[in-house]
A and B are shown apart, each in its own frame.
Chain A
Amino acid sequence: MSARQLSLSSRVSPRLADLGLLGPAIAVILLFMVAPMAIMFVYSFLQAAPYGGVEWTFTTEAYSSILFERDFLDDSLTFTPDYLIIVARSVCQAGLATLLCLVISVPTAYYIATRPERQKNIWLVLITIPYWVNLLIRTIALLFVLRGDGPINAVLMQFGIISEPLPLSYNGFAVCLGLIYSFLPFMVLPLYSAFERFDFRLLEAAYDLYASRRIAFFRIVLPVMRPGLIAGSLLVFIPSIGSYLAPDILGGGKTLMIGNLIGTQFQSARNWPFGAALSMILLTLTLLVLLWLARRAGQQKSDCR
């Protein structure tokens, strides 16, 4: 306990002191996180007004329209998988991006963590350098690289490897690449710190006890690094699934993800309740993933096998 903290607690009651220290942060979270989410939740159960905004009539229309289409003439509901496909695509894209980030980051983080102290810092700065540039600019720049007349295609065609430009942009591939590019450091950094804390003598112990390299990796390295793996995966998966920029710019609107769908509802489509309902779905998906991981981590702890 620091001296200042001590003097604070001695003058006012401990609970008041805690409130003084945490108050500003709590106020920010209440005002900018809890309140907007509450508004979203309420809006998702209201009727859409014709030109944006909401009408204060309770309805579950927004949720049902995710799965069903209302016929204009006879008001009957027919099942439509369109939005479900977008949700599923979002989950798959985010999952794939997370997996690929993991595959790229494990060797990267291992390499950095095993360098001498001074080199480590250089590598870490290099990893974070892209973050000094705005995400929008980086995403547009990536588009220029991938385009039909971009440098990749130009070089490949120059050398006669391909005769027609490869379709690198405006598709799922480009979106996935964009997601990986955007969120890779969020995977590298937690894995780096996990490797940094990893006691490599455990590997020697494993080899000493007749484990092969492969078995040592799966039975010792991965389980011990589990918290880092989970943290990194969450940090990539959560922003990926709700990602807006990458699918919008690199997917060219043809490979919509749930983030774009929500954006459209609040802008051109002017269906706020539907956008709010989709947001709730996204939030639920995220929470489910978190819950699943938390439960798995808990099981691991109680399970001695």
Chain B
Amino acid sequence: MRTSASLSISRSSERMQGSTEKSRFRDARQDTIAAEVKGLSKVYNAGSARPYEALKNFHLSIHANEFFTLLGPSGCGKTTLLRILGGFETLSAGTCTIFGQDVSRLPPEARPVNTVFQQYALFPHMTVRRNIAFGLEMLGIARAETERTVERMLELVHMTEYADRKPETMSGGQRQRVALARALAPRPKLLLLDEPLSALDLKLRQKMRLELKALQRETGITFIFVTHDQEEALAMSDRIAVIDQGRLQQVGTPEEIYEHPESRFVADFIGESNLLDARVSGLIGGEATLTVEGFADIRTSIEWPLVVGQIVSLSIRPERLVMREAGKEACSGTARVVARTYLGNAVEYHLMAGSQTLTARAPRGGLRGLLDFAPGDEVGVGFEPGSIKVLLS
């Protein structure tokens, strides 16, 4: 353990020497697998009357140098997965490797991994400096080297002037930075972040998003970030894994996850979606005809095999739902405006089309914003081409 960690430190100092060398080094590592779990399961209270399966047969590969996010609602198992990677929980089945090394049975202190804890868990009896130095001291790094690294970390997170303060005298954002510096100081191969922004207020959270992302680029360390905030995940991640009820739902770039959700859950959880029940009424080549109650038949390309008569879900983002004056233009269907909500940069309309509720969002001042409707109005509803995703229910 000791050797591998000091190895990573010497490697990191090489990395700092020149930007060209740095980028070359990065490219070489781009395809390396930083962390991988295979067939991972975690069962709590196994053998008791009420076992609880937090993670079910989980497969996931995280590339080196990635800002990777585990995203899901609370209780979905994302934190359990992070804690298994950190060594704080044992796994019930499967394997967990970090840079090729099987760490399934290793305790936290033997893993080349550091964690930024949700409530930071800074040592209250130590100054900022001592907190940051702790991991390096435990690794037996020489004192001079430790002090140099601590100074560099303090600069990295802009906390040099607070170096000799105790954590209790600092604000949430400052503690957050110290926790980051403390976890980065030993140059982990993997940095785990457990909802580190959730304790901060909105403005600070948005600022820290940018800082975290920049820090990941600067250090070249693989970040695994846990959050339930989809906006946070979309803004920072290179790739996102969406998790629900202990199962991996989808892995992809923020664009892929947002534009091409593969399941009803992902479409609903990431951003907002109108979900309509539809029946497959015809299949011609790569296109399907779908029947939705209250709408004209919809034709769309399909990504997976369907059979006629199958019930599927259609997902459409509110900003891609088009509203027109009723009867003036050809529309897929009609709806009645139930409520109109002013959001500042947009106006949101809640619509009833038959028995289905829909949400449409029109940007303020945009082309469509010129048209405004009031509750009670009958409107025509259309879908932007390519905006409909067919999801298996």
A and B form one complex: yes
Interface footprint category on B: 20 to 34
Q: Does B97 contact A (CB under 8 A)?
A: no
Would you call B129 and A208 a contact (CB within 8 A)?
A: no
**Assembly CA distance A196 to B313 (angstroms):** 50
Q: Name B123's contact: one of A205, A215, A226 (CB within 8 Å).
A: A205
Q: Name A220's contact: one of B123, B139, B164 (CB within 8 Å).
A: B123
- A: number of interface residues (CB 8 Å): 20
**Assembly CA distance A72 to B227 (angstroms):** 87
Would you call B109 and A202 a contact (CB within 8 A)?
A: no
Decide yes or no: A210 and B88 within 8 Å by CB, A201-B121, A205-B115, A205-B121 being known contacts.
no
Q: CB-CB < 8 A to B183: which residues of A?
A: 208-209
Decide yes or no: A210 and B135 within 8 Å by CB, A201-B119, A204-B121, A205-B117 being known contacts.
yes
Would you call A211 and B138 a contact (CB within 8 A)?
A: yes
Q: Does B373 contact A (CB under 8 A)?
A: no
Q: Mark A186-229, 1 if CB is under 8 A from B, else 0.
A: 00000000000001011011111111100100001001101000
Q: Name B138's contact: one of A209, A223, A305 (CB within 8 Å).
A: A209
Would you call B125 and A207 a contact (CB within 8 A)?
A: no
The distance from the CB of B244 to the nearest CB of chain A, in whole angstroms, is 26
Q: Mark A106-138, 1 if CB is under 8 A from B, else 0.
A: 000000000000000000000000000000000
Q: Does A39 contact B (CB under 8 A)?
A: no
Q: Does A38 contact B (CB under 8 A)?
A: no
Decide yes or no: A210 and B186 within 8 Å by CB, A204-B88, A205-B117 being known contacts.
yes
Closest chain B residue, CB of each to CB of A305: B130
Would you call B119 and A215 a contact (CB within 8 A)?
A: no
Q: CB-CB < 8 A to A305: which residues of B?
A: 130
Decide yes or no: A223 and B125 within 8 Å by CB, A204-B117, A209-B182 being known contacts.
yes
Q: CB-CB < 8 A to A226: which residues of B?
A: 125
Among residues 164 to 188 in chain B, which have CB atoms less than 8 Å away from a CB atom of chain A? 164, 182-183, 186
**Assembly CA distance A239 to B127 (angstroms):** 36
Q: Name A202's contact: one of B114, B121, B186 (CB within 8 Å).
A: B121
Q: Does B354 contact A (CB under 8 A)?
A: no
Decide yes or no: A207 and B107 within 8 Å by CB, A304-B129, A305-B130 being known contacts.
yes
Decide yes or no: A212 and B109 within 8 Å by CB, A199-B121, A205-B121, A223-B125 being known contacts.
yes
Q: CB-CB < 8 A to A208: which residues of B?
A: 86-88, 108-109, 113-115, 135, 183
Q: Does B327 contact A (CB under 8 A)?
A: no
Q: Name B108's contact: one of A202, A204, A304 (CB within 8 Å).
A: A204
Q: Name A224's contact: one of B5, B88, B125 (CB within 8 Å).
A: B125
Q: Does B258 contact A (CB under 8 A)?
A: no
The distance from the CB of A229 to the nearest CB of chain B, in whole angstroms, is 13
**Assembly CA distance A205 to B88 (angstroms):** 10
Q: Does B1 contact A (CB under 8 A)?
A: yes
Would you call B135 and A202 a contact (CB within 8 A)?
A: no
**Assembly CA distance A24 to B107 (angstroms):** 58
Q: CB-CB < 8 A to B138: which residues of A?
A: 209-211, 215
**Assembly CA distance A212 to B110 (angstroms):** 9
Among residues 241 to 281 in chain B, which have CB atoms less than 8 Å away from a CB atom of chain A? none
Q: CB-CB < 8 A to B100: which residues of A?
A: none
Q: CB-CB < 8 A to A215: which residues of B?
A: 138
28 contacts between A and B (CB under 8 A): A199-B121, A201-B117, A202-B123, A204-B88, A204-B117, A204-B121, A205-B121, A205-B122, A205-B123, A206-B123, A207-B107, A207-B108, A208-B88, A208-B108, A208-B113, A208-B114, A208-B183, A209-B183, A210-B109, A210-B139, A212-B109, A215-B138, A220-B123, A223-B125, A226-B125, A304-B126, A304-B127, A304-B129
Q: Which 6 pairs of residues, A with B, have the shortest CB-CB distance?
A: A209-B135, A210-B138, A205-B121, A207-B108, A201-B121, A304-B127
Q: Residues of A with Cβ closer than 8 Å to B?
A: 199, 201-202, 204-212, 215, 220, 223-224, 226, 300, 304-305
